[in-house]
Amino acid sequence: MDNSAKRVVLIGFMGVGKTTVARHLSSLLGLERADLDYLIEENEQRTIAEIITSDGEGSFRKVETGNLKKLLEERAVPILSLGGGAWTIEENRRMIKQHGYTTVWLESTFEHCWLNIKFSRKERPLAKNKRNARKLFEERQKLYCLADWHFIIRPDFTSFDAARQMAEEIFN
């Protein structure tokens, strides 16, 4: 398959670096990208944290699925990054496959993700404390495992290194 026909979606736990790796991948390959959380905030005119805090996670998931559906139907972006919980919803996984995307799980240790969560400016209501975040991390491994590709994020690699390696392995 030539690169113009490839579509990848980056999934994985909060703090693993999906958005940043997608940004580097997009500039390395000169391919358009979209970030679902960013689009949700733009379309809903509220932050993700506001939606989850005031309406609950269940409502957020519906908004997330609606925005993903719209994006997949309207723009076949070759590089897409999702919020960490989007892949846990069966309907989302089905739509992603149906639209011909290859899913890439950015896999890392909990401690690595937690460090990024702790020092990030992004507010994450579902990872308010380490205990809850670890529980979610463990529960989700079996679903992230369903991805087509498993890409290990090494702690000594920068996001740019990871994107370069991914570009070589997937878009070679």
CB nearer to ligand S3P: give 29 or 40.
40
The answer to whether 124 touches 14, Cβ cutoff 8 Å, is yes
Which residues, 6+ apart, have CB-to-CB distance to 89 below 8 Å? 61, 64, 65
First to last CA, the chain: 10
Q: Which stretch binds ligand S3P (CB under 6 A): 81-89, 102-110, 146-154, 157-165?
A: 81-89
Compute the residue count for the chain. 172
Asked if residue 25 binds ligand S3P (CB under 6 A), the reply is no
CB 135 to ligand S3P: min, Å: 12
Q: How far apart are CA 108 and CA 152, in angstroms?
A: 6
Considering only 48, 147, 162, 163, the residue that binds ligand S3P (CB under 6 A) is 48
Integer Cα distance of 121 and 103 in angstroms: 26
112 binds ligand S3P (CB under 6 A): no
Instruction: Return the residue of 39, 72, 83, 151 that touches ligand S3P, per CB under 6 A.
Output: 83
Residue 169 Cβ vs ligand S3P, minimum distance, rounded to whole Å = 22
